[in-house]
Structure 1
């Protein structure tokens, strides 16, 4: 901006003075506008270096949150954040996984196995890879790397929506045994899907809670000091809670002990993951909202 006029400078005629004053106010307003614009442009969500999403099965909010049988998940909520009005989209399980992953149920209405690669629609993985980011899934009891089998032992394809997309390489679907021990080598975003017992579908809440602690506590502790995030959610409730589900977030950028009573759903979770990494928004995520109010920034 131009230097201020010297105090001994001749005072301009009234009209020129008024014009100068108006110009000064205009510049100030412009500066304030730019400042406001920059503030509005500030990211509503952080950009974690790594995000790990874990999806459990078929339990309502009250079955897990505040339940002494799930001490580890509740400890993560105490040290992180809990969404107290988080909802799934529908029933049964499989359409919810597609909604969470791609912003649309992709015409899936039941838990039947799908034809691998039946859809070419955009999804979280395809967006990440198209934008120079990395993606992987880690699937407990998957019989082999990249296997598109319908079921095997305690493994079920219905919990793995990435196999439904021809724009997601099957080579990015790993057994859970491939989950990195060096967490710095994790992809930008990854999903962890426990098997039918570990995910609380066939076994107890306590079983799933213990599995989470035994297998992902190391990552959770690391995420707290390495700009990373652990997000735990459920596919659907037990059909007795209006599809209200637990969703817990834990990591360095999450306010410890935060809660949000804002209503969120799977599309909002997907949108938030996309926004974190500057991605386009797939399907219904385009009309969803980012998760806010729980971050340190």
Structure 2
């Protein structure tokens, strides 16, 4: 175990500037007494007065089913009236009693003296001004027409804007999250109004596939609708953007971005930019997370495996000191989905599939199970935050794709041997029949979570297939012969149809993931290297990847290292099983989690490679800072705006265990009381902002250095100094 000495954590005093406070408390100059009566005087008296009318609008998630299934997390998941699983849908909404003003000084704030009004019950407004730039402040006294629950108050304030060019087109001026994004791009990216509209339209369009969608530039600043070409894409984007602009308002109100920054935020522009780059992590539209097995840099980072090597060194970027949760597999997959392993320290099944446990269980694929896992309180995880529920709640799609699943088998149980399915081993050339255990639930990142497994779309979206394996052709033939509806290449088809999630976990089978099973034991690394190329080639050939207006990235990581590092660990671990809390702090958990002290112990460094589709993104970046699965979950929460960097408890589970959080709560964290390096033992986003110092501990108490890991000295486990560059591996431009 590495040496541990308590270190100091940076302190922070919130900076709520008088400018920000006054600007937001002014309420944009509206008197609030007459919904459509303008107040204030036009500060730009030299201009030509014009009457501007329009609507303040957005989008909301609609429960399409009429039947709600209340999950353990308190979220109502949608079902159709027939009980079938349905995808989330979005509908346009309008904001009543929002304040709208003419932004004569172009600061994104409704200042005293700027003409303003309130929207009526339909979200409409009219005002006269010489300035055609408008701002809408939608505060908690505003309401909207919730599609499932009627009129509701706005939960958190957001500020929306429209460009002056919208008024010159005539007709209604729409103020929405999409029009606000147009304004933000003209400011942050120095784009023209037309180029900003076109960039958004291009990102939301899907062309070159099997289900093309075209969004026009005028659609971006037009009225939101539930019908017409591109309406789904526009509404989905409006919902996602609203979350960003809500975060931006919080940033501006308090005057700072995160709990460790000291730079004040005093403008709407700065706050809105920060909301799209929390903790230095830019927004991505699609993330593909490919999970391999049981190897570290020392075996994989080798020219003998040319595909992995080029993804790590020439075509992509690399996190050189990336640590797993522990050993064996299952806790790592759980941690990759929730930033905690919840005391799971083995590969046992989640449960025994009692009848009726899972909503909408498809009777045609159910396979009875005769044995139950007695340790269900540990492995059947209930009421715990996870990426699947967080993404769903935010209206963002999530998928899990698994290779070599038995056609027609219940995906909540392991794959079985099938002598009727055969294929040629690509390495040995031998013809082999399908062995048991190619598909394992221990490698499924969603199946342990009770609320996710009981979601009506679990079977539809979280148990999809991916091809490229030895048995594909025979699996398809077997399914056809046995009249089983099955698609061995759902992932490949989804890439062409655009039915891809924002977050997509891809799990190769136990031959192609380098774990090894049956006859592929001796060829697993070569097979994994070839399979990595198969996946990358498929993704990079897709319309999703080729549309560089969309930001897409591929992460290739390994669940755990090769375990010869002993007790080496980093980044929020329960080092040595020393926790006494029985649960992560800040989760509101009052009952101790069974066996919690036995989990989160950590393991040796492993692989993390990143490829992006952004043509100006830097490549061949090596980040030697210490990260973990928990760091990656924190990074994903920033990427998809699922948390607030200034509110530690908005991050799920152990991903909140930053250096400051540990310092603030040290009295309740026995496992950190003797920390040798508070930075090494804490969780941070993968943003390369920390500069390694010579002598810093990196890989803990192992007896070997980490080959190819940047600043780790050979055999001494200490950094030799900072990397040559602190460039963010997620950066979209150099």
TM-score of the superposed pair, with normalisation by structure 2: 0.35
Aligned partners of 1:47 and 1:252: how far apart in 2?
Answer: 13
1:56-75 mapped onto 2 (5 Å cutoff): 56-65=292-301, 67-75=302-310
Q: Which residue is equivalent to 1:174?
A: 464
Offset, 1:145: 7.3
Which of 300, 318, 322 is the matching residue for 1:82? 318
Q: Which residue is equivalent to 1:274?
A: 637
Q: Which residue is equivalent to 1:11?
A: none
Confirm whether residue 105 of structure 1 aligns to residue 341 of structure 2.
yes
Which of 178, 185, 191 is the matching residue for 2:505? 191
Q: Say if 1:220 and 1:282 are closer, same or farther in 2 by CA, change over 3 A.
A: farther
Confirm whether residue 218 of structure 1 aligns to residue 453 of structure 2.
no
Q: Which residue is equivalent to 1:155?
A: 439
Offset, 1:260: 0.3
Q: Which residue is equivalent to 1:207?
A: 527
Alignment: residue pair count: 267
Q: Which residue is equivalent to 1:127?
A: 390
Secondary structure of 1:261's match?
strand
Confirm whether residue 290 of structure 1 aligns to residue 685 of structure 2.
yes
Secondary structure of 1:34's match?
coil
Secondary structure of 1:98's match?
helix
**Are the aligned partners of 1:146 and 1:173 in contact in 2 as well (CA < 8 Å)?**
no
Residues 61-115 of structure 1, C-alpha deviations (whole Å, 9 max, x = no match): 12111x1232112222222210001110211111111111111102211011112
Q: Which residue is equivalent to 2:691?
A: none
**Are the aligned partners of 2:276 and 2:282 in contact in 1 as well (CA < 8 Å)?**
no
Offset, 1:48: 1.3
Aligned partners of 1:270 and 1:289: how far apart in 2?
Answer: 10
Q: Say if 1:42 and 1:228 are closer, same or farther in 2 by CA, change over 3 A.
A: closer
**Are the aligned partners of 1:227 and 1:252 in contact in 2 as well (CA < 8 Å)?**
yes
Aligned partners of 2:497 and 2:564: how far apart in 1?
Answer: 37
Confirm whether residue 136 of structure 1 aligns to residue 371 of structure 2.
no
Offset, 1:151: 3.6
Offset, 1:142: 2.1
Aligned partners of 1:265 and 1:138: how far apart in 2?
Answer: 23
Residues 266-291 of structure 1, C-alpha deviations (whole Å, 9 max, x = no match): 00111111111111332111223211
Larger Rg: 2
Aligned partners of 1:128 and 1:164: how far apart in 2?
Answer: 17
Offset, 1:47: 1.4
Offset, 1:221: 5.3
TM-score of the superposed pair, with normalisation by structure 1: 0.82
Secondary structure of 2:309's match?
helix
Gap runs ≥5 in structure 2: 1-42, 45-263, 359-379, 417-435, 467-488, 517-522, 569-603, 644-650, 658-682, 688-727
Offset, 1:132: 0.5
Q: Which residue is equivalent to 1:237?
A: 561
Residues 150-177 of structure 1, C-alpha deviations (whole Å, 9 max, x = no match): 3432111111131111222331211222
User: Which range is displaced more, 142-151 or 201-210?
Assistant: 142-151
User: Which range is displaced more, 248-257 or 226-235?
Assistant: 248-257
User: Which range is displaced more, 249-258 or 221-230?
Assistant: 221-230
Q: CA RMSD in A?
A: 2.4
Aligned partners of 1:81 and 1:183: how far apart in 2?
Answer: 28
Secondary structure of 1:162's match?
coil
Secondary structure of 2:625's match?
coil
**Are the aligned partners of 1:58 and 1:201 in contact in 2 as well (CA < 8 Å)?**
yes
Structure with a larger share of its residues in helix: 1
Secondary structure of 1:69's match?
coil
Q: Which residue is equivalent to 1:19?
A: none
Residues 17-71 of structure 1, C-alpha deviations (whole Å, 9 max, x = no match): xxxxxxxxxxxxxxx8526964766611121111110000000112111x12321
